Amino acid sequence: MSKIEFRNVSFSYEADNKAVNILDGLNFKVEEGEFACLIGPSGCGKSTLVSLLLGLQFPTKGEILINDKPVTGPDVNRGMVFQHYSLFPWLTAKKNIMFGIKEAGILKNRKEIAKRAEEYLELVGLADSADKYPHELSGGMQQRVALARAFAMDTDILLMDEPFGAIDPQKRIELQELSIELCKKRGEKKTVVFITHDIDEALVLADKVYFMEPHKIRTEVNVGLPADTPREELIRLNRYDQLRRELLDLFTEVKVRTA
């Protein structure tokens, strides 16, 4: 049994009395504990795939299974980090995280919830900003709080749709490292679906990269880079170069096909 399975999924919407196909016969499987990166050209349907996985929209055809059960609607056990900062503006950093923990229902006692929130703020390097409101934090800091909240909720599945898209390259690397750390911190590994446009981000984070073209997954690439290797070493491996070229070639091919 796969943790996540899309079986022959199609999704279309109506515009001017015509059905517009976004996904068409898409098959996609993610195993428990896998860090899956989804890349592909803009508009090919990546965010649509995530909204189906969240249970915010439903397939026109086919089915989506999580733990072998069809997705029937949103579930607090599917955490989410969006591209745009999604903190509650009226809650402090710590209270935003506490809110998530409460919603996830993993702790009931307020003191324990506060303690867990503090622990995760510390992990993302924001212990000093616990009482600040989102507008008092930079974009990168807000995204750290969103990451802390998502990980503190301890969901089995984490969906991340271009979470670092609006972050400068240096901070982005820090947040990638942080995501790897937070994934490891959990005894059993999380199943993550992470959408990005950035090939290097995908290669550093993923066990498998799924390349999406309009309507469906075109191909999957087993990354197979050595674990626990510093980024500076990783990016100098021949295998890294080879994978990078493979993915770049796919972007060129798909562009030609859709042009």
Query: Residue numbers of the site for ligand ATP (CB under 6 A)?
Result: 13, 22, 42-48
Residue 13 site contact among Mg ion, ligand ATP, none (CB < 5 to 8 Å, cut-off depends on kind): ligand ATP
Residue 79 site contact among ligand ATP, Mg ion, none (CB < 5 to 8 Å, cut-off depends on kind): none
Q: Cβ of residue 15: shortest distance to ligand ATP, in angstroms?
A: 7
Of 2 and 83, nearer to ligand ATP (C-beta) is 83
Residue 250 site contact among ligand ATP, Mg ion, none (CB < 5 to 8 Å, cut-off depends on kind): none
Q: Smallest Cα–Cα separation from 1: which of 62, 68, 63? A: 68
CA distance 40 to 217: 9
Of 22 and 93, nearer to ligand ATP (C-beta) is 22
Q: Are 6 and 29 spatial neighbours (Cβ–Cβ below 8 Å)? A: yes
Site residues (vs Mg ion, CB under 5 A): 46-47
Residue 172 site contact among Mg ion, ligand ATP, none (CB < 5 to 8 Å, cut-off depends on kind): none
Residue with structure tokens 């991340």? 160
Of 51 and 114, nearer to ligand ATP (C-beta) is 51
Three state DSSP letters for 91-139: CCHHHHHHHHHHHHCCCCCHHHHHHHHHHHHHHCCCHHHCCCCHHHCCH
Diameter of the chain by CA atoms?
Answer: 57
